[in-house]
Amino acid sequence: MNDLLFELLLPELFDYATCLEYMERSALECLYRADSTGVTRLFELGSGPLLIKLTMRDGSFIQARLLHGSVPGIEEQERLARYITEWFDLDRDLTPFYTLAAADPLLGPLAVRFHGLRIVGIPDLFEALCWAILGQQVNLAFAYRLKQRLTAEYGRSMEWEGHTYYCFARPEDLLGVSVEELCALQLTRSKARTILEVAALLARGELSREALLDMPSPEAAEKELVAIRGIGPWTAQYVRMRCLRDPSSFPVGDVGLQNAVKVLTGMDKKPTPAELVGLSVGWRGWEAYATFYLWRTLY
């Protein structure tokens, strides 16, 4: 099966190959398979599992092709199209970002080097929160391993042409799971407690992406998130950036961001959060994109 479901017109200042290179950065990624031809991912949209591959046509369209599963209805295709749009931040005009980057000595070369790169988001709030929690104070490779263990244990999977494709766990999949069970996957007790608390809040409807997006400001959404035990400013800002699609999110406490700036500027030590704020005066409103491009230099 290789049925074309729909096409999405791509915006200007978008380069699929550059985004795919970013998505290929780790062989440990378990939620999609990316290569130079596109990205393949398993989705659950109500009618059952759908294995979808996203490819490029004529440099102007992303095509969504069904590799395995029943052809979804119109509403499900619309949900899938919305997910893809948010995954690749397709409805954002990057012209202002490239304008300010061109005038910035730090961002200017990066805007040329990674031209067309979009923030590759995590549209599902539970997945975004779990990924940020798993990544707290550990290296990226170990965070990927924790995500793979959590996904394999509580998510769903499909075998197709010699590969296993996974869907991330849903909040309700973790109801009744104990801290000890998550610790057996090598999560710390603190991370296990936080993930179970987040799962419970989402399952009860007390926390949702829609409610966070409806708040009067991204800062209000961050305040709501940091009220949850185990979620601090870095985690909340990461979720603002990758899930809530807030281009002004600026995780100044991020070690990777600090290291990237240190290397690129030739500083003899990592910049402090206050120094990063001072450095970013010209990035106002686009701090998340500046951060994403700076992160990209690390791998």
- Give me the active site residues, please: 254
Q: Which parts of the chain fold into alpha helices (H)?
A: 16-23, 74-87, 95-102, 107-113, 125-134, 140-154, 179-183, 189-203, 209-213, 218-226, 233-242, 255-265, 273-279, 287-296
Indicate the residue type of 154. Answer: Y
Indicate the residue type of 65. Answer: R
Dist. CA 128–CA 94, nearest whole Å: 23
Indicate the residue type of 296. Answer: R
Residues 6 or more apart whose Cβ sits within 8 Å of residue 89:
118, 119, 120, 121, 245
Residues 6 or more apart whose Cβ sits within 8 Å of residue 28:
141, 144, 145, 148
Dist. CA 120–CA 262, nearest whole Å: 24
Q: Cα–Cα–Cα angle for 146, 49, 17, nearest 5°?
A: 65
Tell me which residue of 185, 188, 196, 197 sits closest to 146, measured CA to CA: 185
Backbone phi and psi for residue 236, each to the nearest 5 degrees, phi listed first: -65, -40
Indicate the residue type of 3. Answer: D
Distance of alpha carbon 9 from its chain centroid, rounded?
Answer: 21
- The tokens for 49 are 């599992």
SS3 174: helix
Among all chains, which residue has been given the structure tokens 């601090």? 232
